[in-house]
Amino acid sequence: MKENTHPNNYRFVVFQDPSADYSFLTKSTVPASETIEWEDGNKYPLVKVDISNMSHPFYTGKMKYVDTAGRIEKFKRKYGRK
């Protein structure tokens, strides 16, 4: 295995999925500008994610339908030829 290929600045970070109201604590090197107080009373860096296993349709079995027709019509109205 190659030397010095993995980072050595791991620290505990809270990842939060606001859409599913779900958070978990793990080690990471990802930069974070916010902090949050965790269940143990300590403050940790906070990284907000758009999707997690609690909100992804593959894991939940629920599809979120997106109004693509509405988006297309809006795009055509805004940028369509006159």
The whole-angstrom separation of Cα 51 and Cα 11 is 22
Q: Which of 34, 32, 35 is nearest to 9 (CA)?
A: 32
Tell if the pTM clears 0.85, that is, is over it: no
Label the pairing between strands 34-37 and 43-48.
antiparallel
The whole-angstrom separation of Cα 45 and Cα 30 is 9
Q: What is the pLDDT of residues 25-58, one digit of tens each?
A: 999 999 999 999 999 999 999 999 888 878 776 6
C-alpha distances in Å from residue 20, one per residue of 5, 10, 24, 56: 35, 26, 12, 9
Name 23's bridge partners: 16
- pLDDT of 4 strictly over 80: yes
